[in-house]
């Protein structure tokens, strides 16, 4: 649920008078925050409503690997929790300095699965003041769609939107609708870049038989999609596919041979599916050093990107699109849009 943030005088009260609020310019009014603590990343957006959308005032993103070791131990490690709290403290400071009056902070698969997830959320509240809401997979899928659906190619048929996370992958089958697509079916698979990497083992992914390890990961993910595949239409026309995650944005950067990541060139890009498959296969054949040498991957992503490629290819296997839409937006933008729309802003 959204939380009111006490950052200065005259905070706006939730549920105040209806109708469309005026667009104010005061830094202490109508400023919203959206925080997404995932299995791998901690991300924050702070924005003000503007005509037809919102203007981002501040942003933060840090790889914290909160779910590291979770697949084997069932709990969050001390080191991963410390890293996450450090990042969340930065977020809390930004929320205060930007005079955010309404924020929603969500946590996903890592806290859903960990036996000490709620204890960690309580620690976060004590040490940073941030109240983490552990959301269900269905809400995670809904927010992702709300945040990125505007990048879907025009069309009348069903579309598939997916979000490859650290601990899970959300698949959402949508149909055209106003003001946003209708969700026809959704599925949360228990494989993300962290959980899949740990299930296969880094030694196998980096070893001489790494291509076989990659095939095993693809098959493991594909099996987890079995029930969702049964929900898909028998006949598909005007197939559209949109992905939002670090995996697709990273591979799109490799596709463009960017020397460094540039969101302006990636968000809204459309890449031929065959090109994404070729890049995925190339990366799966590389060792850690070779992957680290690729711009936009580096050492921070080199150990997890292979699992991301395996998940992506498993998705491409079940949804016969020719082009993949790339979105550098998702849950955070979905939170912002939902908070602002609830307050009457026309987005």
CA 303 and chain centroid, separation: 18
Alpha carbons within 13 angstroms on the beta-carbon side of residue 38 total 30
Q: Are 198 and 167 in contact (CB under 8 A)?
A: no
Q: Are 2 and 14 in contact (CB under 8 A)?
A: yes
CA 336 and chain centroid, separation: 14
Pairing label, strands 182-189, 270-272: unpaired
Q: What is the pLDDT along the chain (347 residues), one digit of tens a residue?
A: 555 443 333 223 232 233 444 444 443 468 999 999 999 999 999 999 998 789 999 999 999 999 999 988 999 999 999 999 999 999 999 999 999 999 999 999 999 999 999 999 999 999 999 999 999 999 999 999 999 999 998 888 899 999 999 999 999 999 988 888 899 999 999 999 999 999 999 999 999 999 999 999 999 999 999 999 999 988 877 789 999 999 999 999 999 999 999 999 999 999 999 999 999 999 999 999 999 999 999 998 999 999 999 999 999 999 999 999 999 999 999 999 999 998 888 77
pLDDT at residue 81, rounded to an integer? 98
Task: Tell me the C-alpha to C-alpha distance, in Å, between residue 179 and each of 150, 174, 300, 332, 337.
Answer: 10, 13, 38, 18, 12
Name the token pair of 222. 């594909």
d(CA 63, CA 216): 26
pLDDT at residue 24, rounded to an integer? 42
Q: Are 86 and 60 in contact (CB under 8 A)?
A: no
Which residues are paired to 240 by β-bridges? 159
Q: Are 242 and 155 in contact (CB under 8 A)?
A: no
Domains and CATH numbers, the chain: 3-135 (3.30.420.40), 138-330 (3.30.420.150)
> Would the pTM count as exceeding 0.85?
yes
Closest CA to 333 of 121, 59, 5: 59
Q: Are 52 and 347 in contact (CB under 8 A)?
A: yes
- 295-303 CB contacts, 8 Å cutoff, 24+ apart: 295/253, 295/254, 295/257, 295/258, 295/259, 295/260, 296/250, 296/253, 296/254, 296/258, 296/260, 296/261, 297/250, 297/254, 300/63, 301/63, 301/246, 301/250, 303/197, 303/202, 303/205
Alpha carbons within 13 angstroms on the beta-carbon side of residue 3 total 16
pLDDT at residue 17, rounded to an integer? 32
Under DSSP, is residue 275 helix (H, G, I), strand (E, B) or coil? helix
pLDDT at residue 26, rounded to an integer? 41
């Amino acid at each position: 649920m959204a939380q009111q943030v006490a950052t200065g005088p005259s905070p706006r009260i939730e549920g105040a008078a209806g109708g469309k609020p005026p667009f104010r310019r005061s830094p202490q009014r109508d400023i919203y925050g959206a925080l997404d603590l995932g299995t791998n990343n901690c991300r924050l957006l702070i924005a003000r409503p503007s005509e037809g959308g919102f203007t981002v005032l501040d942003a933060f993103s840090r790889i914290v690997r909160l779910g590291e070791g979770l697949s084997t131990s069932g709990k969050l490690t001390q080191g991963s929790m410390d890293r996450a709290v450090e990042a969340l403290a930065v977020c809390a400071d930004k929320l205060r300095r930007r005079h955010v009056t309404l924020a929603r902070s969500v946590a996903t698969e890592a806290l859903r699965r960990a036996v000490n997830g709620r204890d960690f959320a309580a620690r976060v509240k004590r040490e940073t003041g941030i109240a983490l809401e552990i959301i269900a997979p269905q809400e995670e899928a809904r927010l992702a769609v709300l945040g990125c659906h505007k990048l879907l190619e025009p069309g009348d048929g069903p579309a598939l939107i997916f979000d490859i996370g650290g601990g899970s992958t959300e698949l959402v089958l949508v149909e055209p609708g106003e003001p946003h697509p209708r969700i026809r079916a959704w599925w949360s698979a228990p494989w993300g870049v962290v959980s899949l990497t740990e299930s296969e083992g880094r030694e196998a992914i980096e070893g001489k038989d790494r291509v076989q390890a990659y095939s095993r990961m693809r098959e493991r993910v594909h099996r987890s999609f079995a029930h969702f595949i049964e929900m898909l239409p028998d006949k598909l026309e005007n197939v559209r596919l949109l992905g939002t995650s670090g995996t697709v944005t990273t591979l799109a950067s490799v596709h463009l041979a960017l020397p460094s990541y540039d969101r302006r060139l990636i968000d809204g890009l459309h890449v031929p599916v065959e090109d994404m498959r070729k890049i995925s296969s190339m990366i799966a054949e590389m060792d850690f050093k070779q992957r680290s040498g690729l711009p936009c991957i580096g050492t921070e992503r080199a150990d997890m990107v292979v699992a991301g490629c395996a998940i992506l290819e498993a998705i491409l296997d079940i949804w016969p699109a020719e082009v993949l839409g790339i979105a550098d937006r998702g849950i955070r933008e979905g939170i912002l849009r939902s908070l602002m729309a609830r307050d009457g802003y026309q987005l």
